[in-house]
Each structure stands twice: as structure tokens, then as C-alpha cells.
Amino acid sequence: MQTAFKWLILANTIIAFSANASAQNIDVGKAEYQSGCASCHGIDAKGNGPVSKELKTRATDLTVLAKKNNGVFPVNTVYQIIDGRDSIPSHGTRDMPIWGWRFVPSEHFSLKGADDYIYLPPASPEPVVHSRIMAVIDYLNRIQEK
């Protein structure tokens, strides 16, 4: 019985270390993009997501943002579009943005215990929202066409 218990502990330890190693390889920006943007902009960010066919205006190709801005990725512009300061009609109203409440400025809501977090929730929801937006921006910056 004691040998079986030792093997169980050893197996759980190996599984825990494997899960930890896998978690460290997660691309948070890509995951945020895929959950909040890819339905319209596409997995490849070229504006061809499954919902794009239903839009009145074609979704923007997000891989050419830097090219259209003289080779400089427009961080502030993209940030303000994601957080809603620069309105994009196809993104919906700020009362009901197409991606839910994940990227809305903190004064619009309060995070609750049921919300998903990578870490424990901070005292203020602003760092969570800012981190999500910056993760998407980082991902988009990395996939720009040269």
C-alpha cells in the first residue's frame, strides 16, 4: 500500500511540473486576440473571420497596421480602439461591446469573483483590463507584415 502511495505522489508531482511547464508557454496576447477579435478579424488577423461575412463593412486587416503607419505600429490608436475611446461602429456600443466586458475601461464595471483571472484579482480592475489590452497589442505588433 505504501509503494502505491509513493507512485501516486510521484505521478502527481510529474503531472504538476508538466502542467506548470505548459502554462509558461502560453501566449496570452494570442489567446486574448483569439477569444476577443478572431471571430471577425480571423485567426490570421487579415479580416476574414467567420463573422466577417455578416458585417456591412469588411473587418480590418490587422497585420498591416504598421505598414499603413509608415512602418510604426500605432500603439495608442489601437489601444483607444480596443478600450472604446475611439468608436468603431462594428464593435458595437460601449454598453454592449462585441467582445463583452474584457476590454472596457474600469470605470464601467467592477470585476467579480466569478470573472476569469490569470492571477488573483487586484484591488482595482484597471490593471487587469490594461494587461489584457496590452497583451493583444503586443501580439498584433508581433504579427505585422514587413
Q: Would you write out the chain's pLDDT as a tens digit for each of its 146 residues?
A: 455 545 555 455 555 555 555 556 889 999 999 988 999 999 999 999 998 888 888 899 999 999 999 999 999 999 988 887 777 776 666 554 555 556 765 555 555 555 555 545 555 667 778 888 999 999 999 999 98
Q: What residues make up the domain containing 106?
A: 29-142
Q: How far is CA 78 from CA 16, 22, 23, 97, 99, in A?
A: 38, 30, 27, 16, 15
Which cell numbers hold the place of 82? Answer: 480596443
Which cell numbers hold the place of 98? Answer: 462585441
- Asked if the structure places residue 57 within a domain, the reply is yes
Instruction: Tell me how many helices (H) and strands (E) the chain has.
Output: 5, 0
Long-range contacts of 50-54 (CB under 8 A, 24+ apart): none
How many structural domains is the chain composed of? 1
- Asked if the structure places residue 130 within a domain, the reply is yes
- Asked if the structure places residue 20 within a domain, the reply is no
- Asked if the structure places residue 129 within a domain, the reply is yes
